[in-house]
Each structure stands twice: as structure tokens, then as C-alpha cells.
Amino acid sequence: MTAPSPVTVRTITQRLSSTPRGARLARRLAVAQMESWGIPYTSGPAEAVALIVAELAANAVTHGRVPAGTSPYG
């Protein structure tokens, strides 16, 4: 039996505006971050991340709401 290979978990956190522009920026930042981690822009994983981030960010813009007075932006 072989030992499982180690898994590297990488994260990035960034607050963006809840607008279509913020969603677009989220996708670009995610792909740029992957590039800095050595994962090429045109690779399958980078393309998958771009699609997933774009979908999640667009959904957040469309459906997400912050109760009045609770936004860290004032």
C-alpha cells in the first residue's frame, strides 16, 4: 500500500464590489493568481477555475444581498 500524495491547498481572499464589473474582476484575479502559482492561463484547471469563479461571482451579484447597515463598506 502506498501513502497518499500530499495535497497543497491554496487560497486567495479579495473583497470586490457587487456589480458585474466586480464579477469580471473576480475571474481575472483568480486566473492571474493561478498563473502566479505556476498554473498556465490556458490549462484545463485554469479554465475550469475561471468558469467556476465567473458563475459564483455572477450569482453573488444577481442574488446576494447584505442587510442594511451590515456592510463593511459603510
The residues spanned by each domain of the chain are 20-63
DSSP secondary structure, 20-39, as one string: HHHHHHHHHHHHHHHHHTT-
Who wins on pLDDT, 35 or 60? 35
Q: What is the Cα–Cα distance from 74 to 51, expressed in whole angstroms?
A: 31
Residue 73's pLDDT band, with cuts at 50, 70 and 90, is low
Asked if residue 45 lies in contact with residue 34, where contact means CB atoms within 8 angstroms, the answer is yes
Q: What is the Cα–Cα distance from 14 to 5, expressed in whole angstroms?
A: 30
Task: Over range 50-73, report the average pLDDT.
Answer: 79
Question: For 11-53, what is each residue's pLDDT tens digit?
Answer: 878 888 878 888 889 999 999 998 998 999 889 999 999 999 9
pLDDT at 72: 63
pLDDT at 35: 92
pLDDT at 44: 94
In this model, does residue 74 exceed pLDDT 60? no
